[in-house]
């Protein structure tokens, strides 16, 4: 899922990356909504609130919403900067680093929420900022990997793209309908798994509260280890069947 950048990525790789990251985004968004009455996977509503508070001259809320927007942007910035810095070493390491940072942030929120959170306004603002940073990291990474095809938290843009692609797919003059159809598969997958993640996140939050955030890093670790499985299999095969390995090389 992480090794191949566009345009070398297959439809299967895109669907797996889209489904797993959209599922995570759905969980985070609904948990943020239930716990803090704020969306934590996108910034559209925060921009509207920022404009409203500017109009009302509420300086403190203007600063807060401005900081939240910057946190999401900083997440995307950190993701892209990290990928560019590490790509000359290894594509996999470059794409893994933002996910590792996201895991650390989510574990911090889960631990703090379970043990220290007292529902104060200051704590709420800090935790929302941390979750927005994590979602900015994820959205920036998957967009970078997929060449802009996958944006696991940007559903407004998804519906815009889906409408345009459905029009292209149904239009009789469209030439390469297979490419358009594959894009539609990816869009529908993101939407489906975002909703599914939201339902699971809401149900589990009502039962376990912030403990549900311990589950999200498990999904992210699965994404990391998916690309390592063939390498691990090859190394294990070398250990237990060294003779077969030598024979295959001589052939």
Is the pLDDT at 26 greater than 60? The verdict is yes
Residue 141: which residues within 8 A CB-CB, separation 6 or more? 79, 83, 95, 98, 99
Q: What is the pTM of this model?
A: 0.89
Region 104-124 average pLDDT: 95
Mean pLDDT of the chain: 90
- Between helix 242-250 and helix 229-240 the angle, nearest 10°, is 100
**Closest to 98 measured CA to CA, from 81, 116, 121, 112:** 81
Q: Provide the pLDDT confidence category of residue 242 given band limits of 50, 70 and 90.
A: low
pLDDT digits (tens, 9 = 90+) for 140-180: 999 999 988 998 888 888 999 999 999 999 999 988 899 99
pLDDT digits (tens, 9 = 90+) for 193-240: 999 999 999 999 999 999 999 999 999 999 998 877 765 555 555 666
Region 6-31 average pLDDT: 92
pLDDT at residue 247, rounded to an integer? 47
Is the pLDDT at 108 greater than 60? The verdict is yes
59, HSE (Cβ side, Cα atoms, 13 Å): 0
- CA quadruple 133, 137, 142, 147: dihedral, nearest 10: 100
């Amino acid at each position: 899922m992480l090794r191949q950048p566009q345009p070398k990525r297959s439809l299967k790789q895109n669907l797996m990356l889209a489904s797993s990251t959209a599922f995570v985004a759905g969980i985070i968004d609904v948990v943020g909504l239930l716990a803090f009455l704020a969306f934590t996977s996108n910034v559209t509503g925060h921009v509207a609130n920022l404009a409203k508070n500017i109009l009302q001259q509420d300086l403190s809320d203007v600063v807060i919403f401005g900081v939240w927007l910057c946190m999401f942007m900083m997440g995307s910035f950190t993701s892209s900067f990290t990928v560019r810095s590490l790509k000359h070493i290894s594509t996999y390491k470059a794409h893994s680093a933002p996910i590792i940072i996201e895991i650390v942030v989510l574990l911090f929120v889960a631990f703090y929420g379970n043990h220290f959170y007292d529902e104060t306004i200051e704590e709420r603002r800090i935790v929302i900022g941390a979750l927005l940073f994590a979602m900015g990291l994820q959205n920036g990474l998957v967009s970078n990997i997929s060449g802009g095809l996958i944006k696991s938290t940007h559903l407004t843009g998804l519906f815009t793209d889906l409408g345009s692609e459905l029009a292209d797919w149904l239009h009789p003059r469209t030439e390469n309908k297979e490419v358009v159809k594959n894009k539609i598969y990816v869009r529908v997958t993101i939407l489906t798994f975002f909703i599914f993640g939201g339902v699971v996140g809401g149900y589990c939050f009502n039962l376990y509260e912030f403990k549900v955030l311990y589950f999200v890093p498990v999904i992210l670790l699965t994404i990391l280890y998916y690309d390592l499985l063939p390498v691990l299999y090859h190394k294990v095969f070398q250990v237990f069947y060294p003779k077969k390995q030598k024979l295959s090389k001589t052939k």
